[in-house]
């Protein structure tokens, strides 16, 4: 691997033990998963996307999203919204007091988010995006921004947007190298991530289309980024963090699943545990041959005992 991958990096005085990060993924990057990838070498892992406005309700769903404890070395939360005042209130709230870094979602491309003026839509409202960053910075916390390069090939704004982020006080940017209309398909446009990197002095991380060590190396070489952020493949094969960072581990997919099951039971109710472990196991099975019937059995599990039995049958052989 390129020497640049796996190295320690500092952002606004905060130490990331490696420059290989795990992206926030709605429905997936819960506390047990974040602990796992950090142990495997990830420099940080963000919470699932949290609505800045929803924080005022302090309901059970939000509590699960924000669950953390002292075992999580670096605590990073991602907020979604469109109103600067709401972001400031959220950033200063007691619920986020324990978090070291606030990441602002300015890249989610899904229709309901964009229609609400959130996520990717902020690429087209640079003054509002600037005010949101400034609002979060008033909390005194380190602030990062995750964004795309533009809405489509005719409306690529990443150079101006990256400069605005830095001028508004952002400490770090992660650039997903696709336009909004590309969604999660197609090769990332490396040249525009490089353009962002060349436009600012704060750290720039590259994201999008990384599904192997070779693609991680290619991303670094073609963009000159300070590091990478893995997304879907980090969930499919968390051991990639160990391979990319050179952190030795003796884990298998089965040992990771049993560890995650035990940790999830410590933190959450049985319904959550069953749902989460089934999702994680399904991702782990993606490239395994002959698992169709076992996958059906996995999703029929109605309790933890049944789940443990099926996991052993699938993964311990």
User: Which residues are known to be catalytic?
Assistant: 108
Tell me 20's DSSP state.
E
Separation of alpha carbons 221 and 9, rounded Å = 18
Residues 45, 58 contacting (CB under 8 angstroms): no
Question: Tokens representing 262?
Answer: 């035990």
Q: Using an 8 Å Cβ cutoff, are 50 and 66 in contact? A: yes
Are 56 and 89 spatial neighbours (Cβ–Cβ below 8 Å)? Answer: yes
Cβ neighbors of 73 (< 8 A, separation 6 or more) are: 17, 38
Residues 6 or more apart in contact with residue 62 via CB below 8 angstroms: 50, 54, 55, 95
- Element housing 259 (H / E): helix 253-267
Question: What tokens does 265 get?
Answer: 């039971």
Nearest to 46 by CA among 59, 33, 57, 62: 33
List phi, psi (to 5°) of 6.
95, -5
Provide the CA 89 distance to its chain's centre, in angstroms. 23
Tell me the three state secondary structure of residue 153.
coil
Separation of alpha carbons 262 and 32, rounded Å:
9
Beta bridge partners, 173, equal: 145, 204
CA distance 148 to 315: 37
Q: Which two tokens stand for residue 129?
A: 């995006």
CB neighbour list of residue 140: distance below 8 Å, 6 or more residues apart:
none
């Amino acid at each position: 691997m390129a020497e640049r991958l796996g190295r320690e990096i500092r952002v606004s005085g905060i130490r990331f033990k490696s420059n290989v990060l795990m992206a926030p993924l709605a429905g997936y990057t819960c506390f047990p998963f974040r602990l796992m990838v950090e142990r495997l070498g990830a420099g940080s892992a963000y919470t699932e996307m949290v609505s800045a406005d929803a924080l005022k309700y302090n309901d059970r769903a939000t509590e699960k999203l924000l669950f953390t404890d002292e075992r999580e070395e670096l605590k990073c939360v991602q907020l979604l919204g469109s109103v600067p005042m709401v972001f400031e209130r959220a950033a200063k709230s007691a619920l986020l007091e324990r978090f070291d870094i606030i990441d602002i979602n300015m890249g989610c491309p899904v229709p309901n988010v964009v229609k609400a003026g959130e996520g990717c839509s902020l690429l087209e409202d640079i003054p509002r995006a600037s005010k949101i960053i400034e609002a979060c910075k008033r909390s005194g916390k380190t602030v990062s921004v995750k964004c795309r390069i533009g809405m489509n090939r005719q409306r690529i704004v990443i150079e101006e947007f990256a400069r605005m982020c830095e001028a508004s006080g952002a400490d770090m940017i992660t650039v997903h190298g696709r336009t909004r209309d590309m969604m999660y398909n197609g090769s990332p446009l490396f040249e525009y991530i490089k353009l962002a990197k060349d436009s600012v002095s704060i750290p720039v991380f590259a994201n999008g289309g990384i599904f192997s060590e070779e693609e991680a190396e290619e991303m670094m070489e073609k963009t000159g980024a300070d590091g990478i952020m893995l997304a879907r493949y980090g969930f499919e094969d968390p051991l990639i963090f160990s391979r990319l960072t050179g952190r030795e581990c003796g884990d298998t997919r089965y040992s990771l699943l049993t560890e995650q099951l035990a940790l999830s039971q410590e933190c959450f109710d049985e319904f959550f545990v069953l749902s989460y472990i089934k999702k994680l196991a399904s991702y782990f099975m993606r490239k395994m041959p002959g698992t169709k019937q076992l996958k059906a059995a996995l999703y029929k599990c109605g309790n933890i005992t049944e789940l443990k039995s099926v996991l052993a049958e699938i993964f311990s052989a």
